[in-house]
Structure 1
Amino acid sequence: MTHFKLIIVENDDDERFFMKEEFQAFGAFEILGDFINGDTLLEWMKEHPVDLPDIVLSDLNMPGKNGYDILSFIRSEPEYAHIRVVITSTSSVISVREKCLAMGATDYLIKPEIFVDYGAYVKEFYQKMERS
């Protein structure tokens, strides 16, 4: 089983909690941190240049720097460009997904309707990361 270093960026405390629990329970992810928005993520990345994640899983809509901002920043900085960025959102609007992919997202995943149901989401996430 491949293991990935993961960072979660999600502004909703409950949702972030349930995401973390399922990713930890799955056993293939080392969670380096969880952040409430892109501002706190980018500050952490600048302070920890030798402990960068393999994957950033970011909510799309957040106060402060949002998923688009995170994606733009990571793709524009050579020292971060190798990091996979997966955008997640409740939005199933195709144009939003296409915009994220055009900006360099590794993938775009729709959140489960009930945030306590992240088991299948994490399994799908893992399978996609293992293939990419």
Structure 2
Amino acid sequence: MNKIKVAIVENDEDERFFMVQSFGGAGTFELIGEFGNGDQLFDWLANAPQVLPQLIVTDLNMPGKNGYDVICEVAAHYPQIQVIATSTSFIPATREKCQRMGAREFLLKPDVFIDYDSFVSRVYELVKDELVKD
């Protein structure tokens, strides 16, 4: 089975650590980058990495380029990459805004770190039909 190539953009080091562990341990994703904000992501993308992610999972609230910036710039310059936005608070208008801007989906972050495995499973279910190549 081909793994989905994913990049994570999250400024909170603890949350990023648990995301990296869960995506890496799922067996369905290949983590190809982890970044503290959108600025770091776009610096990396500008240097033409050998492999682009198929999916970017980004926090919304970060210093520098935030998740909304990530959604807009990826949609404009890398339309082949899907973006899933995340946050600790859920407001239906936020989900709608993210999707209008080009995000594949908006998901609420888990309340506790042990729930990241189920979060990663949900992400996989959302994108597998479009991104998994036989």
| TM-score relative to the length of structure 1 | 0.93
Q: Distance in 2 between matches of 1:49 and 1:24?
A: 19
Quick one: which amino acid aligns to residue 13 of structure 2? D
Which residue of structure 2 lines up, in the alignment, with residue 86 of structure 1? 84
Tell me the percent identity: 46
Quick one: which amino acid aligns to residue 95 of structure 2? R
Q: Distance in 1 between matches of 2:19 and 2:75?
A: 24
Which residue of structure 2 lines up, in the alignment, with residue 119 of structure 1? 117
Q: CA deviation at 1:9?
A: 0.3
Which residue of structure 1 lines up, in the alignment, with residue 106 of structure 2? 108
Count of residue correspondences: 130
4+ runs deviating over 2 angstroms:
none
Q: Distance in 1 between matches of 2:68 and 2:40?
A: 15
Deviation string 1:62-92 (CA, Å, 9 cap, x unpaired) is 0000000011111112xx1110011011121
Q: What root-mean-square deviation, in Å, do the aligned CA atoms of Structure 1 and Structure 2 show?
A: 1.2
Deviation string 1:76-129 (CA, Å, 9 cap, x unpaired) is 12xx11100110111210001100000010111110011332011011111111
| TM-score relative to the length of structure 2 | 0.92
Runs of at least 5 residues in structure 2 that lack an aligned partner in the other structure: none
Is residue 30 of structure 2 the alignment partner of residue 66 of structure 1? Answer: no
- What secondary structure is seen at the aligned counterpart in 1 of 2:113? coil
Q: CA deviation at 1:24?
A: 0.9
Runs of at least 5 residues in structure 1 that lack an aligned partner in the other structure: none
C-alpha contact 1:18 1:118 (8 A) present in aligned 2: yes
Which residue of structure 2 lines up, in the alignment, with residue 44 of structure 1? 44
Deviation string 1:13-66 (CA, Å, 9 cap, x unpaired) is 011001110111111111111000000000001112541100000000000000
Q: Distance in 1 between matches of 2:4 and 2:80?
A: 13
